[in-house]
Amino acid sequence: MSKQVEVSVIIANNQIKWWERDGGVRFLKEVGLKSGQRVLDFGCGVGHYTIPAGRIVGSTGSVYAVDKERQAVNKLKQKAKANNLKNVKAMKASGQIELDFESESIHTVLFYDVLHYLGKNDRKKLYQEAFRVLKENGLLSVYPKHTAEDDPIQEFRSLSLSDVKQEIEDLKFVFEQKHCGLISHDDGLNQGCVLNFRKYE
């Protein structure tokens, strides 16, 4: 590894450490996470959002973190242990579009940087599942990275941010606010926006 690459890896690692300890906690509090909540982080990866969420919900809450990649789930389990976050429950997902939770059992669902993996029908199923598992007034927070305006790839190549907002509103969710800032993406930080929706019966 060249000296320059080595230095950028160190900088990225430090950014992520800061994010999981400090920046991400502040950001997710502003998004609406609170102490005592039951949070579901679908497509959690190695937990760049799960770890700060675990700090916020505290010992009276839980963060259920699911991902179809076993390696990511195992890494997250190690990190949760190293951070003494007993409230983080990391689970390997089947890869099917189902949320294995009781109806109306979750306060907040996070779909962060994951929706672009899914085709239109699967996204629709996933929004319906989020609606089912959320409590009344529950929060669905979405980070739709990789839309047409922001490094477009995979299923989001031809969708704008407002197309994604519309497809979620079409499934009965009520748009509440857009929240922007310096946020985690992959192994670094970038400027990004999350969209918040509420479930109102």
Ligand X SMILES: C[S@@+](CC[C@H](N)C(=O)[O-])C[C@H]1O[C@@H](n2cnc3c(N)ncnc32)[C@H](O)[C@@H]1O
Using CB under 6 A as the criterion, which residues of the chain lie in contact with ligand X when the complex forms? 43-45, 48-49, 66-69, 72, 93, 95, 112-114, 117, 184
Tell the smallest beta-carbon distance from residue 8 to ligand X (Å): 19
Tell me which residue of 71, 62, 65, 143 sits closest to 100, measured CA to CA.
65
Handedness of CA 11, 17, 20, 24 (dihedral sign): negative
CB nearer to ligand X: give 1 or 180: 180
Tell the smallest beta-carbon distance from residue 183 to ligand X (Å): 9
Tell the smallest beta-carbon distance from residue 199 to ligand X (Å): 21
CB nearer to ligand X: give 6 or 22: 22
Give the number of other CB atoms < 10 A from CB of residue 36.
Answer: 12
CA trace torsion 146, 149, 152, 158 (10° rounding): 110
CB nearer to ligand X: give 43 or 61: 43
CB nearer to ligand X: give 66 or 164: 66
Tell me which residue of 61, 201, 198 sits closest to 141, measured CA to CA.
198
